[in-house]
């Protein structure tokens, strides 16, 4: 290659090189590098060891030009469903033929052994708006040369950022096949009315010294400690330096490539706190210009200390400085079920006292509200979201225990039926709060990982979705479906501006702990219902709430939901059942 202006090295070649593989090797002051792929490579061979020349137009499935993303007027209209490609289809009872593959997730007409829908048809039936796919870029830890390899990983060990993972493909040796099959999956989800969010992990790489970045431009793409060693804010051995101009350029161009070439609808940024605010704003600006209804969110924290100054970190405390980007609300997560740092700690639904203000904080999506006492919120002593579109509410995700396993840990003495009520109450809080709701795949059927907390490399027996649970917990699955439909039908639950929440959402006075109630008034956000009352009772006995004047009807009694009304409600008080959420409307 020859050096040209601005430090760019170029070469040109004659003839059709499609399908040929290539690597780079450079000579620097440190010596001659290893052979590595182009960090910008759009296609790679098996195990990502070589770049591959590809004609991307020829990777498009039939009808790709007509593929359209589902509309998303506001981020708060999204209902996110986090899933892993392999988990979703690998179980023997999934009814999927191409288990563990992109193509398997795209299959329709699949059923479990009892004849209930599975796979993509289950997602349509459930009503979620977006699937959040755990890493599907090319990652390091699974050997792609072994067909039907039982080896498992979540994929937070990046190798090649701009090409799909080969172990999810029917042919990992041909770089074009994995591209075509991933596009076909996206196309199938779009046809089902479901958007696609990619989980992206730009904050670190699996390899440090031997990474593609470091072999070609030693030390440039990473942060270092004072002693010259890699800094480790990701707790994975290294952290990338988003503030470096070429790293920032790489991040912006990479997400744009995925959005434009693959029709991706959103991105979740792993350890977003390690990215500097200027870079996240550059990403948000570029993506929103290309696709105005893109949805962007991330982890608003780091995993360890970092040389990046605190004021420059894209943490949840600074999310108000990054318009168009949301952060996960760990305040509500731990308030509802207990701290993730103590596997037996209880939360609001499982019997811990003093969590009411933290739950209220989540209900208003971490925004400013005059009725929240921020001094009593578990983590954040001030609102951090400028708008509800900047807060993702959740109680479980791939990290830590599933909600069902957590409730078993914290409340082992309780009967299954009692824990089912806790579980339903917890997710009702998520789906009736303002902000963006986020669900772990399988939570709608009480997903268990056999008690394993950090299952990043656990076998399929631990991680797989067991589709028999949909049959065994049919009433829970039906409740989730009705609750999701309720949220989608009623815009009062998904206001897009903080001022709307302050105007229309009022917390009701309650007596005693373990009880939170609020009213949404005046056809909020154009809702057909004039007024809505929601009450969460985490007590083991029914508790009365005082009802504002009105002609109320009971919409949900905590077990079932009927938007036409289960029954009319008279009087000035209403008894909220134990361990339940109720919804009333006028």
Q: Average pLDDT, stretch 454-460?
A: 98
User: How far, CA to CA in Å, does 240 sit from each of 140, 275, 410?
Assistant: 17, 8, 37
* 376, 357 contact by CB (below 8 A): yes
pLDDT tens digits for range 554-576: 999 999 999 999 999 988 999 99
pLDDT tens digits for range 204-254: 999 999 999 999 999 999 999 999 999 999 999 999 999 999 999 999 999
* 162, 42 contact by CB (below 8 A): yes
DSSP letter, residue 460: H
Distance CA 567, CA 559 (A): 14
Instruction: Report the mean per-residue pLDDT for the chain.
Output: 97
Distance CA 174, CA 40 (A): 18
Is the per-residue pLDDT at 147 higher than 90? no
Joined tokens for residue 263: 């029709």
The pLDDT, as a whole number, for residue 6 is 85
pLDDT bracket for residue 543 (50, 70, 90): very high
Distance CA 570, CA 71 (A): 40
* 77, 129 contact by CB (below 8 A): yes
Q: Average pLDDT, stretch 504-509?
A: 98
The pLDDT, as a whole number, for residue 84 is 98
pLDDT tens digits for range 467-498: 999 999 999 999 999 999 999 999 999 999 99
Q: Average pLDDT, stretch 39-68?
A: 98
Sign of the dihedral defined by the CA atoms of residues 483, 487, 490, 493, in that order: positive
The pLDDT, as a whole number, for residue 28 is 86
The pLDDT, as a whole number, for residue 378 is 98
The pLDDT, as a whole number, for residue 480 is 98
Q: Is 203 left (phi over 0), alpha (psi -120 to 50) or beta?
A: alpha
The pLDDT, as a whole number, for residue 30 is 81
The pLDDT, as a whole number, for residue 251 is 98
Is the per-residue pLDDT at 29 higher than 90? no
The pLDDT, as a whole number, for residue 116 is 98
Is the per-residue pLDDT at 386 higher than 90? yes
The pLDDT, as a whole number, for residue 7 is 83
Joined tokens for residue 333: 């997560």
DSSP letter, residue 40: T
Could you list the beta-strand ranges (E) of 368-450: 391-393, 436-440
pLDDT tens digits for range 80-118: 999 999 999 999 999 999 999 999 999 999 999 999 999
* 441, 82 contact by CB (below 8 A): yes
Is the per-residue pLDDT at 39 higher than 90? yes
The pLDDT, as a whole number, for residue 156 is 98
The reported pTM is: 0.98
As annotated, the active-site residues are 270, 299
Please list, residue by residue across 223-252, b when 16 or more beta carbons sit within 10 angstroms of its beta carbon and e when fewer do.
beeeeeebbbbbebebbbbbbbeebbebbb
pLDDT tens digits for range 352-371: 999 999 999 999 999 999 99
Which of 565, 581, 560, 562 is CA-nearest to residue 518? 581
3-state secondary structure of 416: helix
The pLDDT, as a whole number, for residue 420 is 98
Distance CA 195, CA 71 (A): 9
Least confident of 67-71, 148-152, 166-170, 378-382: 148-152
The pLDDT, as a whole number, for residue 5 is 85
The pLDDT, as a whole number, for residue 371 is 98
Distance CA 430, CA 359 (A): 10
Phi, psi of 529 (to 5 degrees): -80, 135
DSSP letter, residue 447: -
Gyration radius of the chain over CA positions? 24
The pLDDT, as a whole number, for residue 500 is 98
Distance CA 228, CA 217 (A): 16
């Amino acid at each position: 290659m020859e050096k040209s202006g601005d430090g760019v090295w170029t070469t040109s070649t004659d003839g059709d090189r499609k399908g040929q593989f290539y690597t780079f090797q450079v000579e620097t002051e440190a010596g001659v590098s290893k052979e590595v792929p182009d960090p910008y490579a759009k296609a790679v061979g098996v195990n990502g060891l070589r770049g591959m020349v590809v004609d991307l137009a020829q990777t498009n499935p039939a009808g790709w030009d007509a593929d359209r993303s589902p509309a998303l007027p506001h981020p708060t209209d999204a209902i996110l469903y986090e899933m892993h490609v392999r988990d979703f289809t690998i179980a023997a009872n999934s009814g999927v033929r191409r288990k563990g593959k992109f193509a398997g997730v795209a299959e329709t007409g699949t059923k479990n052994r009892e004849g209930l829908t599975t796979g993509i048809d289950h997602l349509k039936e459930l009503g979620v708006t977006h699937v959040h796919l755990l890493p599907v870029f090319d990652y390091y830890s699974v050997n792609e040369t072994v067909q039907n390899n039982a080896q498992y990983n979540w994929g937070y060990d990046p190798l090649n950022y701009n090409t799909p993972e080969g172990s999810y493909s029917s042919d990992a040796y041909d770089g074009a096949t994995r591209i075509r099959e991933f596009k076909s999956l996206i196309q199938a989800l779009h046809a089902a009315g479901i958007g696609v969010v990619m989980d992206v992990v730009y904050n670190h790489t699996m390899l440090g010294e031997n990474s593609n970045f470091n072999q070609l431009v030693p030390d440039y793409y990473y942060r270092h400690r004072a002693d010259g060693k890699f800094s480790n804010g990701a707790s994975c051995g290294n952290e990338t330096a988003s503030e470096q101009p070429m790293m920032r350029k790489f991040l912006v161009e990479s997400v744009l490539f995925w959005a434009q070439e693959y029709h991706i609808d959103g991105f979740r940024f792993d350890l977003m706190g390690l990215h500097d605010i200027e870079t996240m704003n550059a990403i948000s600006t570029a993506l929103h210009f290309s696709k105005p209804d893109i949805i962007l969110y991330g982890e608003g924290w780091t995993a360890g200390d970092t040389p990046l100054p605190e004021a420059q970190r894209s943490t949840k405390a600074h999310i108000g400085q990054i318009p168009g980007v949301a952060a996960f609300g760990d305040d509500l997560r731990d308030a509802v079920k207990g701290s993730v740092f103590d596997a037996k700690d209880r939360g609001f639904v499982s019997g811990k006292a003093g969590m009411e203000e933290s739950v209220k904080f989540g209900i208003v999506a971490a925004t400013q509200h005059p009725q929240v006492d921020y001094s009593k919120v578990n983590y954040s002593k001030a609102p951090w979201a400028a708008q509800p579109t900047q807060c993702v509410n959740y109680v479980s995700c791939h990290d830590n225990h599933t909600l069902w396993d957590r409730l078993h840990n914290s409340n082992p003495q309780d009967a299954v039926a009692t824990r089912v009520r806790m579980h339903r109450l917890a997710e009702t809080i998520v789906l009736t709060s303002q902000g963006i709701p986020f669900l772990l795949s399988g939570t709608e059927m009480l997903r268990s990982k056999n008690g394993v907390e950090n299952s990043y490399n656990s076998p399929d027996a631990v991680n797989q979705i067991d589709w028999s649970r949909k049959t065994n917990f049919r009433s829970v699955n039906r409740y989730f479906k009705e609750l999701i439909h309720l949220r989608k039908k009623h815009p009062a639950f998904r206001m897009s501006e903080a001022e709307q929440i302050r105007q229309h959402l009022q917390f009701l006075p309650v007596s005693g702990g373990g009880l939170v109630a609020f009213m949404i008034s005046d056809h909020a956000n154009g809702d057909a219902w004039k007024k809505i009352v929601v009450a969460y009772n985490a007590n083991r006995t029914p508790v009365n709430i005082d009802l504002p004047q009105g002609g109320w009807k009971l919409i949900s009694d905590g077990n079932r939901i009927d938007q036409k009304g289960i029954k009319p409600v008279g009087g000035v008080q209403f008894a909220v059942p134990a361990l339940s959420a109720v919804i009333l409307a006028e």
